[in-house]
Amino acid sequence: MAGVHELTVRYGDITVLKNFSAEFPDGAVTAVSGRSGCGKTTLLAVLLGLLRPASGTVTGFQRPSAAFQEDRLLPYLTAVKNITVAAGCTAQAAQDALRQVGFDSADSEKNAAALSGGMARRVALVRAMLAEGDAVILDEPFKGLDELTRTAVLRFVNENRRGRTMVVVTHDPRDAEDLGATHFVRM
């Protein structure tokens, strides 16, 4: 079982998380919720190894992939290349995945800087789902997507989980339900 135990995180003099503990069952979807500013994104940064806590331990996250609130694409690489570079998959696999979330061939070859917000979001999610690893961490995964696109992306995410542990930060209870969350962490 993955988890964090007695986690304390500070930014200078500000303590964001203090002695926080949570478990993330292997192979399950855990939905993390809480008010804005309570430390949800900070928790994800710790799980990903991007932020070191002042104290506490993290267990069970060896090679997670992620889609952040900000899409974090390389602006001068194409949508396909943004996926292949980070996920280590073939260009054909990236193109096939993008097609499943509503891209056509021309969109797949656009530089990330030329993509709309919803298109960039889809690239970030495809990249996270195609990457190898033991866990997938998603921060507000469906923000900025219209209903039709959300449905296609949700289907893609669910079909590409491959039994991995998934941690999803969301303010929308429908996201947790549609992703099949069986475990909930309230911060």
**Total domains in the fold of the chain:** 1
Q: Which domain holds residue 66?
A: 2-186
Residues 6+ apart with CB under 8 A from 34: 40, 186, 187
Q: Do 43 and 91 touch, CB atoms closer than 8 A?
A: no
Q: What is the CATH number of the domain that holds 24?
A: 3.40.50.300
The residue to which tokens 């289907």 are assigned = 155
**Residue 14, C-beta contacts closer than 8 angstroms, at least 6 positions apart:** none
The answer to whether the predicted template modeling score (pTM) of the entire model surpasses 0.85 is: yes
Kindly give the confidence (pLDDT) of every residue in the chain, 187 residues in length, as a single tens digit, with 9 standing for 90 and above: 999 999 999 999 999 999 999 999 999 999 999 999 999 999 999 999 999 999 999 999 989 999 999 999 999 999 999 999 999 999 999 999 999 999 999 999 999 999 999 999 999 999 999 999 899 999 999 999 999 999 999 999 999 999 999 999 999 999 999 999 999 999 9
